[in-house]
Structure 1
Amino acid sequence: MSEKFTFFLLMFCMLIFINLKSSRAQLAPALFVFGDSLVDVGNNNHLPFSLLKADFPHNGIDFPNHKPTGRFSNGKNAADFLAEKLGLLSSPPYLSLTRIKSSNFSAGVSFASGGAGIFDGDDKIYHKSITFNKQISYYGTVQAKMVEQLGATKAEKMISKSVIAIVIGSNDFLGYFGSSTSAQMKIGSPQQYVASLLLAFKGQLKRIYDYGGRKFVIFGVPAMGCCPAQRVRNKTETCNEAANYWADNYNKGLVSFLQDYKTQVKDFQYTYFDTYNVFLNLIQQPATYGFKEEKSACCGLGDLNAKIPCLPISTYCSNRSDHVFWDLYHPTEAAARIVVEIAYNGSPKYVFPVNVKQLVSS
């Protein structure tokens, strides 16, 4: 084979590779992620006093580098898969960029932090996570920085077309139903608690809108009563139905608010994802989605692998794709992939008024 022919063959292969790489269309300018450990991609790694971290084995065992990244997962989480669907790289942790003066936020950023909730709880005192309110303040800082870098008109247009993903609320319910001594219990009855959560979230969503956010993907609270940490509290290993009932009640109130807000603010666009019922499907019909184990955590120790969290001393299952849950609270990479696939392409039964694909195309 001549050197000239070899050169042209190499160039041809490179062109094919470049074309394939670029075939994944970028559907939004950026992805900004708010939330808790379900979508934390490493912010808590940068909180020196926080114990709520996933920067140790066996987390990350199925991540591309097989190392812990700060994700509470065996691999990628929902934020990663959502970014892939949008043709974007995963949004980097905000705290990893704050020390870099030349940071460019125009490709998106994640503010999500393990342990965060709608309510600040004791996070203000112990700094164990970035509270949702603080995440929104950071978003305001990013918005101002983008105006400085791009100019007001270009920044406003770019932010308005970007996707704002919000995954929050699970920790509020775990705190309320997890301990009779928790600070959340002081708010009152479950009905009063849910009403307070909704009132707080309404104000938080409006703050993000005021900073320029227009396209929102909002995940409802999952059926937290069915996670291994809640099941193991019952001798029968059944779901905590009280926690599930009030989580579902909150979600219904959230849907009502979003529908009402849309009638008031015409340029507010949103996708609501029914995380609650999708997760119930994974748990109640695991085989339909390719799972064999829906109760036990893959990584942990004790009953249901949920008496001791996923730590370096814990054992873990050999086939993570068989399990719905990675640890006592969080889904496996396989479960997260399914969740995002339904959010992106799903029918109005689980994602409405439009799915994510329809949202970004509008």
Structure 2
Amino acid sequence: MKTEQKRWLIICVVATFFMSNSSCNKVVQGVPQVPCYFIFGDSLADNGNNNRIATMARADYLPYGIDFPRGSTGRFSNGKTVVDVITELLGFNDYIQPYANASGREILRGVNYASAAAGIRDETGQQLGARISFGGQVNNYVTTVSHIVGILGNANLAANHIKKCIFSIGLGSNDYLNNYFMRDYYDTSHRYTAKKYADALIQQYAKQIRILYNYGARKFVFNGIGPIGCSPNSLAQYSQDGSTCVAKINSANQMFNRRLISLVDYFNENLPDAKFIYINNYGIFRDLINRPKNFGFRVTNKGCCGVGRNNGQITCLPFQTPCQNRNNYIFWDAFHPTEAASTIVGRRSYSAASSTDVYPIDIRRLAQL
């Protein structure tokens, strides 16, 4: 098993996983609630940025996209991702373009910079090949800002446009999956305790957020890490019974999330004219795991497609036949949620179903500010 994992390595992220039975294929038509939506993240949000780079972390082949109207675009899902769902709920008439493809005036409505296997740390995911780290994504945003200034004519107009936009940041999962807990490739677990590692991640995270703020960002969404220890990959590797979540991994994830919440408070108090919120992906996903029937799910510990124990050791292979009843599964592959799961997390991020889903407000209210 270990040889097979090293051969295929471990494609990106688990993170933040979610739910629902809905499978809308069309973007909601209407007037967007904000003028633009900028997305920073990993494979949970990547919609094509890794397609043209030398990496094993890519999903531009079937069965990825099997239920997406445009087919296999590079999304690590059978259909829509969480940010796609939120894009719809915000009222955009099309999905946000990946940085690799975005050009001209379309950048005024936002750009998706997410890159599969990316982490907060630059070295994270390097065993998979090329990827665009958080720092690289922020650099790409800075380039975008210069283009927006050129399109709108001056810096003041650009700043007035950008300050109304929502900035979604969803990184950190790979810093555990494809770094801290991958001891054969990285020494971070030997150099840091779990607490010190979370501190180091948050320090680097905060540095990038300050750059975004200095370049006009004012409405921030911090996406917490989901319970990675409950992913099919973690269950296949570390769980004795194949269904009990791995406590040591989830504990480390929660350490990071608690510090991310504190960062929300710190920035809300210290960065003028900005608003920061936190999405409790860990809590939302555990809700799905603990009460799957309430949300229409039947399978919580297996991937709909993939290879290895319970389809949980590696991701979907090209042209592999996935399960037929995809809406019954929380996980699409060893790491990523199905469209059905992503729909729920997107809805609960946008409009909280519980006071614990978000902190201090949800995306809907953030858009109104």
Deviations 1:255-311 (A, max 9, x none): 012102211123111221000111111111111111111110001133211134211
1:340 corresponds to 2:346 = yes
Question: Given the alignment, which residue of 191, 197, 209 partners 2:201?
Answer: 197
Match of 2:134 in 1: 132
More helix by share: 1
Amino acid aligned to 1:59: Y
The equivalences for 1:302-321 within 5 A come to: 302-312=308-318, 314-321=320-327
Alpha-carbon distance in 2 for matches of 1:350, 1:308: 30
Conserved? CA contact 2:264–2:277, under 8 Å? no
Higher relative contact order (CA 8 A, sep 6+): 2
Note if 1:351 corresponds to 2:358.
yes
Change (3 A) 1:78 1:126: closer
Cα gap change, 1:341 to 1:126, in 2 (>3 Å): closer
Structure 1: 5+ residue stretches without partners: 1-20
Counterpart pick for 2:115 among 102, 113, 116? 113
Separation (CA, whole Å) in 1 of partners of 2:193 and 2:120: 17
1:217 is matched with 221
> 2:211 aligns to what?
207
Matched to 1:239, the amino acid is: C
> In the alignment, which of 45, 65, 73 is matched to residue 60 of structure 1?
65
Match status 1:156 vs 2:163:
no
Deviations 1:124-166 (A, max 9, x none): 7975211110000000010111111102121101100001011
8 A contact 2:225–2:281 mirrored in 1: yes
Paired AA for residue 134 in structure 2? F
Residue aligning to 2:77 = 73
Rate the CA distance shift 1:330–1:125 in 2: closer, same or farther, 3 A: closer
SS in 2 for 1:232: helix
Distance in 2 between residues matched to 1:260 and 1:299, nearest whole Å: 41
In structure 2, how many angstroms separate the alpha carbons of the residues matched to 1:304 and 1:130?
30
Q: Partner of 2:107: helix, strand, or coil?
A: coil
State the AA in 2 paired with 1:358: R
Contact 2:47–2:114 under 8 Å retained in 1:
yes
Q: Secondary structure in 2 aligned to 1:359?
A: helix
Q: For 1:46 and 1:274, locate their aligned partners in 2 and report how far apart those are by CA, in whole Å.
A: 32
CA contact (8 A) 1:348 1:355 kept: no
Contact 2:228 2:250 in 1 (8 A): yes
| CA distance 1:50–1:176, change in 2 (3 Å) | closer
Q: Give structure 1 regions of 4+ aligned residues with deviation exceeding 6 angstroms.
A: none
2:147 matched residue in structure 1: 145
Deviates more, 1:165-174 or 1:342-351: 342-351
Instruction: Give the SS at the match of 2:221.
Output: strand
Instruction: Answer yes or no: is the 8 Å Cα contact 1:166–1:217 preserved in 2.
Output: yes
What secondary structure sits across from 1:271 in the alignment? strand
Report the TM-score when normalising by structure 1: 0.89
1:318-333 to 2 correspondences below 5 Å:
318-333=324-339
Residue deviations 1:4-59, cap 9 Å, x none?
xxxxxxxxxxxxxxxxx996231000110000000001100021x11110011110
CA contact (8 A) 2:29 2:91 kept: no
Q: Distance in 2 between matches of 1:96 and 1:125?
A: 25
Is the 1:301–1:315 contact (alpha carbons within 8 Å) kept by the matching residues of 2? no
User: d(CA) in 1 for partners of 2:365 and 2:159?
Assistant: 21
Asked if the contact 2:127/2:185 (under 8 Å) is kept, the reply is no
Helix, strand or coil at the partner of 1:95: coil
For the aligned residue pairs, the C-alpha RMSD in angstroms reads: 1.8
Q: Select which of 171, 174, 177 maps to 1:171.
A: 174
**TM, length-normalised to structure 2:** 0.87
Q: Which amino acid aligns with 2:199?
A: A
Deviation of 1:175 (Å): 2.6
2:194 is the alignment partner of 1:187: no
In 2, Cα distance between equivalents of 1:147 and 1:299: 44
1:97-112 residue pairs with structure 2 within 5 A? 97=102, 102=104, 104-112=106-114
- Give aligned pairs, total: 337
**Aligned partners of 1:239, 1:55: CA distance in 2, in Å?**
30
Secondary structure (helix, strand or coil) at the match of 1:33 reads strand
Q: What SS does the corresponding residue of 1:171 show, helix, strand or coil?
A: helix
Structure 2 equivalent of residue 6 of structure 1: none
- Which deviates more, 163-172 or 182-191? 182-191
Quick check: 1:43–1:112 contact (8 Å CA) kept in 2?
Answer: yes
In structure 2, distance between residues paired with 1:41 and 1:23: 20
Q: Is the 8 A contact 1:45 1:53 kept in 2?
A: yes
SS of match in other structure, 2:33: coil
**How many percent of aligned residue pairs carry the same amino acid?**
34
